[in-house]
Structure 1
């Protein structure tokens, strides 16, 4: 059956692609290599996405195992379409149900998407060096080294999202090396160790005039090329690297890169490659298992496995260079979310500051060391006119100290620069977190509302406002009162909160601390949204809540003046409210009621709300099962790399948008199936129900909407858990369509913004709606954006406009500093945005790593066990030096911090000077290693060898004399033994000779003669033997009778022998 599919499915594709104008057969995958998704073939075809996921699974398992000591299980046989399921199981094995893998999924998808989009982005999809095509090995490796610098410097500065994007782009090029070059055909079983390594050699490259391929024949003589051994033997034998040319490619300067004629170079090959018929005809790519698209399809799996190994090795190099703490942040392997406070520090905010301090300290103290502890901490103070400085840290003590230093001073409740502060907080917060804003003043920078909202939506971060004082005094006493309240600049906060899925809480100064209990309930490791309704009508509302077997700690919040709540379990019984009851009240204010349900039974629960005014209702819970979604563009199938890439900004109305859904924590032990993707209004009404096309079982789905609703909506996923209980999850971020869209036309990986430098980047705005004049604006969190070439573009329907943005980095900006840019376009009835990042790079590449050397060791840890390691200590002295941009960091890596570390005369940026350090610890830390990094991310590692005994005393002369005497005595003894042995042999030989002489005298020779006669007789005929034997016996007997001595026998026997010879003759 597999052979049938392998042969006839490509035939079907040829028919569809040949006779369909658009080629609508499409298999949606990120960076897809047209690999099927059926169980039968899923273990044979590897896309860029599957290769990346597989490597991420391996490094995540290694990290969790080393840090938590958990059993990660056997990962060797995990199929490509089961990797995300295995990641979910990995997190459950290490943490149980209290931790969600959602943030790791987000990091993985961000890397994977950036990887796949290299094939789809206009700046890189036809760039040979981005794919190691057209023998561009020098340019391809230069691209890897450039991206490596961007990855490592971004991580050094804590710019993890930018680092993930650069990593994905790097991995695409790295993985393509094994699919597009002849590395596999040379017979290599391990990755190329020189790729993406500063100063390393990647191997010899075939000269431009060296023929590398021979013509291939077509399947059945006329269908497609199926090539085997078409790479010239001498090329592989000499170890010359070559790769195929592909049609319509251009270099970085826009010059065409065509396959040379008359040389015999290889083609990329495959159905869509226009160069495949240019001699040497055929191709060598190994992108898929199907020969229709990959002439070397039989080597696809070998190339994929090498790509997995190379990808995994790159991740491990990042871990070594950055250290475990930053590596965990980079891949979101920390389990908590961000605890982020944006606080107004003017004089009127004294009560709010005190309350936020107390709540932050309470949260940190109660969760320290647990999986539910926040992963990082952000504090952004603001006033008028100051914003910041922002505190971003992984250290809870540093955060507590920073918030403890806040003081309310100056100003009052006049408008403040709150949105600027929120923008900074959003740029540094982990995706899926919540930013809490404390203020009693309106926004003075309301022009940033669209930029802030767009960034929050793009990162799926909720923004929640605690408004006290003049802004929060308008109460929700009736619908009319609500309408009155939502006027003026307060609408700015409400708009941001509603769009990002947050909320606005009106409180008095005395209610601030009690209300911040919500922070404790929200900042968790596995919060999921079950229901969110805004402006539910006054009266009695009955709301259905499906509780599945993965849920615990259900939080219900009703926001409405004087609203009451009743909770009915699946049997219809009203649950009482009390301190030790299933339902307990956590917060109760005039406008806000929050209750918690513990130990909930799976089934359909009912929430009955009684309110005289409209109210908001939200229900969250703790669960490891959730989902993520993105709008994606899919390419038509008339390209070498059909696939999908994330849509920047809002989806365009009037089109058939594709939505990718990734389930988190979903596997057969918890989830039975996922049934639909619903589009739901802010009031809870279902606008559309979309069926889901399964791409990876219980992990990845795609849905297509015929046309998106014009009103704002949010997404909800429904299905059934493993016990057939209904489940649902909601993403509270509101989605709205647009009639315009952006495309960044500059390859940001080649954009070199240096400290004190200026760069221009270009973009295009497309208008899919009616004629309009679009107002353009750009802003960023670091203040790098200087100007746009034009701030407005008049566009007719279907037209596009080109524009240019200028950015300047401060001269003091460290390498790796990354600014998050939000670009917006707005016209009457039209709005869209795009978010991208630009990183500060060194003026020139520095590929020489710093040096680390162990120069002295005192003490030994030989034969020391775990029970006695504390009884012995050692000291290691190390030396460090850099010849490039200078040293950045020097640190020991040990299993604990129970050591003494002294670093002499070190400062960041030090170059061409040696720095020494001393490390003293017990032998329990004998596996210590020392890591040094420079300002551009290069690093070196050195490790002391403490296992053998260390020389503590010199060897004295007496020891040499003793050794010499011992050797001399041994030689004398040996000579004596040899002499005795020789004498013994001579004595034995003499005795043997004497015995022989005696035997001869006694007639022994006659016996010897008889023995020889018997041996000769064996070769004669039986008759001759009988005659000779008889004659001889007679003569012997006759002589014996006439002589009385043995000596006569010898003589006569000799005479008899002569007679025997005469007879034979």
Structure 2
């Protein structure tokens, strides 16, 4: 299983990062793992050696168990509701097939996206692999050295933590812990002699802290004899150990050959204990391991044991929460960060209106948000995080939101955003409403780091930028955002792939259409560019049959003009609000251009004329997307590729 101490080398897949137009042309060299949401296609790290491709990995075991258990949950829900469920649950399941089967009862015919589901699986697989990377010599994490009590404690305490985090709706933390304990649980079947004892079902006591571990080989009981074969040694466990059903595991050490007399070793080139009597090893990590002939049976039992662990979580948390843990939802969370000072009355009413519309239209469809999150802020207060999966509850919460108070101009906007980034699921779309500059500018680097680690997109709804100070009907003065103060929000939006939309308060209801656009299922970014400093530019993007509902967002000065040209040569200018290629609206600095693509697939072009900075973003809905990690090549006992911590080093290309 990727459980090996002499871990397989993994193939490197190098892809060029999509190019974007920036003032400085800096290109980071990316090594990425691509996962396409296409039926029957599941990409994961593969070993270089073709023989090793026959061996199961922790990633493969974990994904197989998750897909089977998730499909079972969806099947049972369908049966309870009197619906058909036609998916055959076997070892041939894919992320796409399970996602599609679990979404088959939706009232919406929107594209099926596996992004959130696959990202959740990747998160658990990553934390699974991290055990080998960060704790390679801790015996209890791998059931080495007969550390059965310690291994069971790690599993049961981790299981308690998973359930506690789920009760608090902290699913990201629950996934990380779940991945780690899956690694330890799976290692039991590869590193112990459970399979050699003829066992065909999981050792359930490993997930039950209140039951004793029985029939363990004591410290003075010899368990192995030396191998007689050159590589494999399937008969080195002592007959009396097998006949009496003693449970043992191999000893492992990369520095010392010392082990208790007569005990089995893990085996492999890195294991020094396997070079002293009794020589050889009993691990089943791969088909070429000492007990490689038992590898498939160990891998299958590891799958069954992982499913048993997942079932225990399901029973404790309930079916709906289990599907939340797996992020099996079509639409992302709806997350608002809202300034609640007195001048924000109009903005809050717009946020209420758009959230109510989303709730009412998308209820019980694929487009219904997976979760509703609200973070209020003003000065000096911010928070708390208010979250729910119940649409009616969120209606009550956001309807009770009021605007009052306010003194000095700046507010705690970045503190509120920081809370949202830590509370919302990864890859969320977060919308910040404010008409004031940030008082907590010192948090910019922290917020930037959170954006990058969570892959969340932040969009700012900024009202009354550069407007004259005025008083509303209650006599409260509105605040004024100048260009320098707005730049902070623009920078954060740009980092996240979002937008800073600057509108008058009267125009905010039109601008909130962006929220409805981005919180549907299967939204993909086709193209994005930031032109700063501003200059005329011709920007090309591709329209194909796999992308629906394409929209272009252009933010820039009111003087900005554009010409849109299709792949067939048909054109439409910015003076035509309704034309043959698009319908568009303008509010504040935002142009929202809804394309009419028809059969005009191929390369389209938007020609922008502006001498001030602007951004262009093209989105659509598609079941095809890719999920990537930046990774480093790692050599040594656990060679392969590992997710990169921090930012990649940029390579400057001089022209």
TM-score, structure 2 as length reference: 0.85
Aligned counterpart, 2:651: 709
Deviation at 1:495, TM superposition (A): 2.4
Q: Distance in 2 between matches of 1:468 and 1:311?
A: 51
- Equivalent residue for 1:143, pick from 120, 142, 154: 154
- Equivalent residue for 1:132, pick from 139, 143, 147: 143
Pairs aligned (count): 599
Aligned counterpart, 1:246: 252
Alignment pair present for 1:167 and 2:109: no
Change (3 A) 1:36 1:335: same
Contact 1:72 1:93 (8 Å CA) reproduced: no
- Equivalent residue for 1:215, pick from 219, 226, 229: 226
Deviation at 1:395, TM superposition (A): 0.8
> What do the CA deviations read for 1:542-564 (whole angstroms, capped 9, x no partner)?
32221222100001011122333
Deviation at 1:597, TM superposition (A): 2.0
Q: Distance in 1 between matches of 2:338 and 2:248?
A: 59
Could you say what secondary structure the match of 1:619 adopts?
A: strand
Aligned counterpart, 1:7: none
Aligned counterpart, 2:570: 573
> What do the CA deviations read for 1:643-696 (whole angstroms, capped 9, x no partner)?
333223223x3xxxxxxxxxxxxxxxxxxxxxxxxxxxxxxxxxxxxxxxxxxx
> What do the CA deviations read for 1:360-402 (whole angstroms, capped 9, x no partner)?
1111111111101111011111111111222111011111111
Aligned counterpart, 2:87: 73
- Equivalent residue for 1:506, pick from 502, 509, 519: 502
Deviation at 1:84, TM superposition (A): 4.8
- Equivalent residue for 2:201, pick from 166, 169, 190: 190
Aligned counterpart, 1:200: 211
- Equivalent residue for 1:446, pick from 423, 441, 451: 441
Aligned counterpart, 2:626: 627
Contact 2:70 2:323 (8 Å CA) reproduced: no
Q: Distance in 1 between matches of 2:467 and 2:146?
A: 65
Deviation at 1:580, TM superposition (A): 9.6
Aligned counterpart, 2:586: 588
Contact 1:192 1:202 (8 Å CA) reproduced: no
Contact 2:9 2:47 (8 Å CA) reproduced: no
Change (3 A) 1:433 1:201: same
Aligned counterpart, 1:383: 378
Deviation at 1:353, TM superposition (A): 0.9
Aligned counterpart, 2:477: none
Change (3 A) 1:334 1:92: closer
Alignment pair present for 1:64 and 2:6: no
Q: Distance in 2 between matches of 1:150 and 1:408?
A: 38
> What do the CA deviations read for 1:588-645 (whole angstroms, capped 9, x no partner)?
1242110112564332222233445442111011011111221223331x31x32333
Alignment pair present for 1:519 and 2:515: yes
Change (3 A) 1:226 1:35: farther
- Equivalent residue for 2:452, pick from 442, 451, 457: 457
Could you say what secondary structure the match of 2:146 adopts?
A: coil
Change (3 A) 1:440 1:395: same
State how 1:802-841 maps to structure 2 within 5 Å.
none
Alignment pair present for 1:342 and 2:337: yes
Alignment pair present for 1:534 and 2:525: no
Q: Distance in 1 between matches of 2:173 and 2:73?
A: 22
Aligned counterpart, 1:608: 607
Aligned counterpart, 1:849: none
Deviation at 1:453, TM superposition (A): 1.2
Contact 2:254 2:270 (8 Å CA) reproduced: no
Change (3 A) 1:448 1:539: closer
Contact 1:562 1:591 (8 Å CA) reproduced: no
Q: Distance in 2 between matches of 1:600 and 1:459?
A: 36
Deviation at 1:259, TM superposition (A): 4.3
State how 1:33-182 maps to structure 2 within 5 Å.
36=47, 42=53, 44-67=54-77, 69=83, 71=85, 73-78=87-92, 83-84=94-95, 98-121=111-134, 124-182=135-193
Contact 1:472 1:506 (8 Å CA) reproduced: no
Q: Distance in 2 between matches of 1:427 and 1:402?
A: 20
Contact 1:129 1:137 (8 Å CA) reproduced: yes
Could you say what secondary structure the match of 2:311 adopts?
A: helix
Aligned counterpart, 1:286: 284
Deviation at 1:439, TM superposition (A): 0.9
Deviation at 1:26, TM superposition (A): 4.5
Deviation at 1:201, TM superposition (A): 3.5
Q: Distance in 1 between matches of 2:60 and 2:468?
A: 54
> What do the CA deviations read for 1:222-274 (whole angstroms, capped 9, x no partner)?
xxx3111111111111111100001148xxxxxx9x7435x210000012211
Could you say what secondary structure the match of 1:143 adopts?
A: helix
Could you say what secondary structure the match of 2:206 adopts?
A: coil
Deviation at 1:51, TM superposition (A): 0.3
Alignment pair present for 1:310 and 2:308: no
Deviation at 1:571, TM superposition (A): 1.7
Could you say what secondary structure the match of 1:120 adopts?
A: helix
Alignment pair present for 1:234 and 2:232: no
Aligned counterpart, 1:803: none
Aligned counterpart, 2:3: none
Could you say what secondary structure the match of 2:355 adopts?
A: helix
Aligned counterpart, 1:854: none
TM-score, structure 1 as length reference: 0.53
Contact 1:245 1:259 (8 Å CA) reproduced: no
Q: Which has the larger radius of gyration?
A: 1
- Equivalent residue for 1:354, pick from 325, 349, 362: 349
Deviation at 1:709, TM superposition (A): 2.1
> What do the CA deviations read for 1:774-822 (whole angstroms, capped 9, x no partner)?
xxxxxxxxxxxxxxxxxxxxxxxxxxxxxxxxxxxxxxxxxxxxxxxxx
Change (3 A) 1:372 1:76: same
Change (3 A) 1:647 1:196: same
> What do the CA deviations read for 1:565-596 (whole angstroms, capped 9, x no partner)?
433332222369676966222x3124211011
Deviation at 1:89, TM superposition (A): 6.2
> What do the CA deviations read for 1:86-113 (whole angstroms, capped 9, x no partner)?
5566578676652311011111011000
Contact 1:413 1:441 (8 Å CA) reproduced: no
Contact 1:441 1:471 (8 Å CA) reproduced: no
Deviation at 1:539, TM superposition (A): 6.0
Q: Distance in 1 between matches of 2:45 and 2:551?
A: 44
Q: Using CA pairs under 8 Å that are at least 6 residues apart, name the structure with larger relative contact order, 1 or 2.
A: 2
Q: Distance in 1 between matches of 2:489 and 2:612?
A: 21
Q: Distance in 2 between matches of 1:492 and 1:420?
A: 14
> What do the CA deviations read for 1:315-365 (whole angstroms, capped 9, x no partner)?
121111101222122110122101111111111111111111111111111
Alignment pair present for 1:297 and 2:292: yes
Q: Distance in 1 between matches of 2:627 and 2:455?
A: 10
Contact 1:473 1:506 (8 Å CA) reproduced: no
> What do the CA deviations read for 1:808-839 (whole angstroms, capped 9, x no partner)?
xxxxxxxxxxxxxxxxxxxxxxxxxxxxxxxx
Contact 1:387 1:417 (8 Å CA) reproduced: yes
Contact 1:243 1:266 (8 Å CA) reproduced: yes
State how 1:4-15 maps to structure 2 within 5 Å.
none
| RMSD between superposed Cα atoms in Å | 2.9
Q: Distance in 2 between matches of 1:247 and 1:606?
A: 61
State how 1:555-704 maps to structure 2 within 5 Å.
555-560=551-556, 561-574=558-571, 583-585=582-584, 587-598=585-596, 600-601=598-599, 602-611=601-610, 613-636=612-635, 638-639=636-637, 641-651=638-648, 653=649
Change (3 A) 1:330 1:610: same
